[in-house]
Amino acid sequence: MVDEKGIDLALLKEIKDVRRERISEYARRRGTGVHFIPAEKGSVWDVPCDVAMPSATQNELSGKDARALVKNGVVAVGEGANMPSTPDAIKVFRDAGVLFGPGKAANAGGVATSALEMQQNASRDSWSFEQTEARLSVIMRNIHDTCHQTAEEYGAPGDYVLGANIAGFTRVAEAMQMLGVI
């Protein structure tokens, strides 16, 4: 669904949280400027956009969907779930030069926030939203920088998939060495 006037958050909450209705009801009630594509007639990935954020389930975005996004001019894709793009979709994005943030990097904020919460609880401390947000910002910038630098180091500038995979593997291998496992 696309709402050209911008999402009416109050209406969306009313429909989903209070009435427990389908998103098609949002489109019906909002009226003109809202484009809803029923599942049997297409996909949300058929809608032209600059940025796509697959964030629902694993393998929700296929190679066919990725080709439609590329054809419609997508510039960047950031995964907001665990592996929502199939390997074929990722290949399509990479081959087309679409900026691609893999979930292991782009979706790390939730895990990082849980770790911050555990740290706060363990220290019997209470942080403000602003303090937590500042710490999370540092963590997420570090993830970005690490992916970027690792991709460059291994001869694939801008390839965040490669950067995230190699950086993650390296960290695990180093930890295993430090613990004497290998």
Q: For residues 76-101, give the mean pLDDT.
A: 95
- Residue 3 shares a structural domain with residue 54: no
Secondary structure (H, E, C), the chain: CEECCCCCHHHHHHHHHHCCCCHHHHHHHHCCCEECCCHHHCCHHHCCCCEECCCCCCCCECHHHHHHHHHCCCCEEECCCCCCECHHHHHHHHHHCCEEECHHHHCCHHHHHHHHHHHHHHCCCCCCHHHHHHHHHHHHHHHHHHHHHHHHHCCCCCCHHHHHHHHHHHHHHHHHHHCCCC
Query: Are 70 and 124 contained in the same domain?
Result: yes
Domain co-membership, 17 together with 94: no
Same domain, 8 and 29: yes
Same domain assignment for residues 45 and 130: yes
Same domain, 21 and 62: no
With a cut of 90, say whether residue 44 has pLDDT above it. no
Whether pLDDT at 78 is above 90: yes
Cα separation, 88 vs 98, in Å, equals: 14
pLDDT tens string 8-42: 999 999 999 999 999 999 999 998 889 888 888 88
Q: What's the pTM?
A: 0.76
Structurally, how many domains does the chain consist of? Answer: 2
* Same domain flag for 87 and 153: yes
What CATH number does residue 136 fall under? 3.40.50.720
Q: How many CB atoms lie within 10 A of CB 157?
A: 12
> What is the reported pLDDT for 79?
95
What is the residue-averaged pLDDT of the chain? 93
Domain span at 1: 1-36
Task: Go through 111-136 and write b for each residue having 16 or more CB atoms within 10 A of its CB, e for each that does not.
Answer: ebeeebeeeeeeeeeeeeeeeeeebb
